[in-house]
Amino acid sequence: SPQAPWWKNASIYQIYPASYKDSNGDGIGDLPGIIGKLDYIQSLGVDAIWLCPMYDSPQYDMGYDISNYEDVYAPYGTVADVETLITACHDRGMRILLDLVINHTSHEHAWFKQSRTSKDSPKRDWYIWRPARYENGVRRPPNNWRSIFGGSAWEWDEASREYYLHLFAVQQPDLNWENADTRAAVYESAMKFWLRKGIDGFRVDTVNMYSKNQSFRDAPIIDPQHEWQPAWSLYCNGPRMHEFLREMGQILLEYNAMTVGELPNTPQIADVLGYVSAKAQQLSMVFQFDVVDIGQGTDLRFNTVPRNWTLPDLRERIARTQQLSDGTADGWSTTFLENHDQARSISRWGSEETPESWQRSAKMLAMLVASLSGTLYVYQGQEIGMVNAPVEWEISEYKDLDSINYYDFVRTVTKSNPVALAKAKAALAHLARDHARLPMQWDATPNAGFTSEEAKPWMRVHDGYAALNVKRQTVDSNSVLNFWRELLRVRRENPKLFAQGVFSDTDPSHESVFVYEKGSTDAKLVVALNFTGKAQSVDLASRLSGSSYKTLVKNCEEEPLDSLQAYEGRIYRLEKQ
Ligand code: TEU
Ligand code: CA
């Protein structure tokens, strides 16, 4: 049988270049900074890194708006720096993935600049242009689709007198994948240019949005209070999606590159399998959003309140997504709780109340995500238990256009109603993407060692860095950092149980303690996690009796089989009789 691919049992560390490590004191993280931290990254025990976009970009959306696929954003470094990084990873036996952002480009990409010159431009059809529709003589966008960052998904171009589609920001026009020349140019420029340099694969941004429903009809009205409607059903998982990915798959195969596709709005397992089944040969795995979407508004993402979730809801989402990688389906997926678009997991599902509850819950959540099946992704700072920005921070500290647009939207529609604005701020303090983008906390020196002491970091450093940083946790054998190292080692040593075990939730309706099993042919794991800040009684004795077992990982000293302390977690390994 062919050798199992390297990525199945792998742990992958995600790096956000702007916020990792600044090497030259301009307040912006950069490639030399990352290269200088590779020994640290290797010491975690990860197999690969995924680097968020480092391409040339005007940075309206932190590099997800690319103006040149074949160049690097100057403050991050040069193409030569990326080559150095690739070699340095490979020298350490690690692999490297780049971000592939090809649903849209920046409005400053040469293709779009040409496309917008006139209706007759040879590149006109590389983007999605449509005439206005007029209602009572008033110019209106072609349909009612809402942009993912708010407002209409269409922008009027006065010079060429048509609207272009942008599912994300105005500065991120969508490419027209219906055009074969466009696709060929994307493959050449965005993919092959970097594959030839020896990268090992891609994280594929918004992988299910390239094929839009070509009717461009109005989306059904699901949010009657607002003008523009969420239109997922008309631009996600469209009719030619699989055809496009099969085409792309040929190139990936040629370079033996793996892919992890970002797959929002796809709750049906059968639909997910269309992308990741071994038969389909399209993507190696995907990021499903079921778990991280918990507690978010259905109409407006931030239209929600903190702690708007229950444990039964969370475990149902986990059970649903675990099916993909636990051997019961012909497919593969991922396990993750954080990335650059998500608030910090401890602030969402754990506790920051006291140093003890913070540390305990950081380890408990680490046990959760690392014991699940699928390829494991760890986001920078997660390994030291970084948390959301303090709730007291002013709105002006938030830099993400998604947060800013949302707050401005609330301000406009409520005419600055103070109650509504306070609610919007609380929602952002809980869920904004900014929380993942605070500078990495390396040590207790001013600016947390992220940049030089005199510099002004592009985003404010968390006030708690003196207590919560890499240096301090390195020398503390009980730290979250050293716990992660141990956990990743145990996961690597037990691939059949951790990365590939068959998940079963034995008590799906339990509100406070999450106990589940991960099975294989000769052994199983019993994982017990207390999601509350109080001691809870459990019956572990009956689950462990009759087999020989040992504790693989735990976050408390004592191990009574009838109770768990606040945020306690344990992972047992049981041999089959
Ligand atoms: O995200 C796409 C996506 O669908 C969401 O995760 C989105 O960021 C979120 O719902 C917005 O509220 C990807 C990138 O991960 C993200 O950083 C980019 O902003 C986006 O694509 C556009 O390229
Ligand atoms: Ca820098």
CATH code at position 126: 3.90.400.10
CA distances from 380 to 254, 352, 383 (A): 31, 19, 7
Whether complex ipTM tops 0.90: yes
* Ligand 1 and 402: CB distance under 6 A: yes
Q: Over 12-48, what HEC string results? A: EEEECHHHHCCCCCCCCCCHHHHHHCHHHHHHHCCCE
Q: What is the per-residue pLDDT for 1?
A: 43
* Ligand 1 and 205: CB distance under 6 A: yes
Same-domain pairing of 152 and 278: no
Ligand 1 pocket test, candidate residues 50, 52, 62, 64, most atoms within 8 A of CB:
64
* Ligand 1 and 166: CB distance under 6 A: no
Same-domain pairing of 518 and 565: yes
Q: Is residue 512 part of a domain?
A: yes
The span from the CA of 371 to the CA of 15, in Å, is 22
CA 144 from centre of chain: 28
Helices (H) and strands (E) in the chain, counts: 18, 22
Q: Is residue 493 part of a domain?
A: no
**Furthest C-alpha separation in the chain:** 79
Count structural domains, the chain: 3
Residue 403 sits at φ, ψ, to 5 deg, of -70, -45
pLDDT band at 469 (very low <50, low <70, confident <90, very high): very high
CATH at 513 = 2.60.40.1180
Same-domain pairing of 477 and 523: no
Is the pLDDT at 508 greater than 70? The verdict is yes
State the distance from the centre of ligand 1 to the C-alpha of 359, rounded, in angstroms: 29
Q: Which atom of ligand 1 is nearest to the CA of 169?
A: 22
Length of the chain, in residues: 577
Q: Is residue 2 part of a domain?
A: no
* Ligand 1 and 61: CB distance under 6 A: yes
The per-residue pLDDT for range 512-547, each reduced to its tens digit, is: 999 999 999 999 999 999 999 999 999 999 999 888
Catalytic residue, chosen from 155, 205, 326, 383, is 205
Same-domain pairing of 326 and 470: yes
CA distances from 262 to 63, 99, 101, 286, 427 (A): 16, 10, 10, 6, 24
Is the pLDDT at 2 greater than 60? The verdict is no
Catalytic residue, chosen from 200, 262, 517, 568, is 262
Question: Across all residues in the chain, what is the average pLDDT?
Answer: 96
* Ligand 1 and 101: CB distance under 6 A: yes
Is the pLDDT at 131 greater than 60? The verdict is yes
* Ligand 1 and 432: CB distance under 6 A: no
Same-domain pairing of 415 and 469: yes
CB atoms within 10 A of CB 548: 11
Q: Is residue 1 part of a domain?
A: no
Same-domain pairing of 262 and 157: no
Same-domain pairing of 191 and 123: no
Same-domain pairing of 309 and 374: yes
Nearest residue (by CA) to ligand 1, atom 3, is 206
431, 296 in Cβ contact below 8 A?
yes
Out of 451, 481, 511, pick the residue that ends a domain. 481
Q: Is residue 174 part of a domain?
A: no
Q: Which atom of ligand 1 is nearest to the CA of 264?
A: 4
Q: Which atom of ligand 1 is nearest to the CA of 168?
A: 22
Same-domain pairing of 230 and 360: yes
Residue 519 sits at φ, ψ, to 5 deg, of -105, 150
Residue at 295: amino acid letter: G
428, 398 in Cβ contact below 8 A?
yes
Threshold 0.95, pTM exceeds:
yes
Where in the sequence is the domain holding 304, given as residue range(s)? 11-106+179-481
Provide the 3-class DSSP secondary structure of residue 226: coil
The per-residue pLDDT for range 68-89, each reduced to its tens digit, is: 999 999 999 999 999 999 999 9
Q: Are strands 129-130 and 258-263 parallel, antiparallel or unpaired?
A: unpaired
The ligand that comes nearest to the alpha carbon of residue 27 is: 2
Please compute Rg for the chain using Cα positions.
Answer: 24
Q: Is 205 a catalytic residue?
A: yes
The per-residue pLDDT for range 232-263, each reduced to its tens digit, is: 999 999 999 999 999 999 999 999 999 999 99
State the distance from the centre of ligand 2 to the C-alpha of 377, rounded, in angstroms: 25
The span from the CA of 326 to the CA of 542, in Å, is 25
